[in-house]
Amino acid sequence: MKKALLLIGLLAVFITTLQPAIASSPAIVGEISGVELCPESVCDAAIFTGTCDCIVKQRHTVGFFWVALQHDPLPNLLESSAILGGKWTLTTLSGNFSGKVLDGTIVNNNDNTFTVTARLRLQKGGKGDVIVSGVLDHSDFPPSPPTFEGELTQP
């Protein structure tokens, strides 16, 4: 219950402090899955890559994503940290899309996982915002790299 209330409170703060989000055109939604290639402490940005099972321009498509983002230090147990910015790209059979990571949060779930929510601004291939949310899993790190499973939605 305490964890749920914390997440609801953090979501409320996140929503009320943001600039208004504008749905992307074209709409981009779907599931993403990837790995962290390099942590921010080494590369000056946390760098992720992976695949997307998406719907773009109202058509099912597959693709690959890449994102580099800056964030405050990873949070302590049941606390959050801010995502400060970054860049992203998505290459699909329906087109190429890219832009800036505007903001977001990282919440420590107290089990070597982190709930991540970020707003992506689409600048090439369209306009507007896409929301990414999911779980960053550090359970097998090391030896395996951290993984990310999440979804792309419209605001």
> Which of 12-21, 44-53, 120-129 shows the lowest per-residue confidence on average (mean pLDDT)?
12-21
The better pLDDT of the pair 19, 94 is held by 94
The better pLDDT of the pair 141, 100 is held by 100
DSSP for 47-70 reads EEEEEEEEEETTEEEEEEEEEEEE
> Residue 69 pairs with which residues in a beta bridge?
46, 86
Q: What is the mean pLDDT of residues 95-99?
A: 97
Whether pLDDT at 15 is above 60: no
How sure is the predictor about 6, in pLDDT bands with cuts at 50, 70 and 90? Answer: very low
Q: What is the mean pLDDT of residues 136-152?
A: 94
User: Which structural domain, as residue segments, surrounds residue 6?
Assistant: 2-153
- Predicted TM-score (pTM) of this structure: 0.84
Sort 146 into a burial class: Cβ within 10 Å, 0-12 / 13-18 / 19+.
buried
In CATH, what number is assigned to the domain containing residue 125?
Answer: 2.40.128
Looking at residue 112, its pLDDT comes to: 94
Q: What is the mean pLDDT of residues 130-140?
A: 96
As a whole number, the mean pLDDT across the chain is 90
Q: How many domains, the chain?
A: 1
Contact 34, 63 (CB under 8 A): no
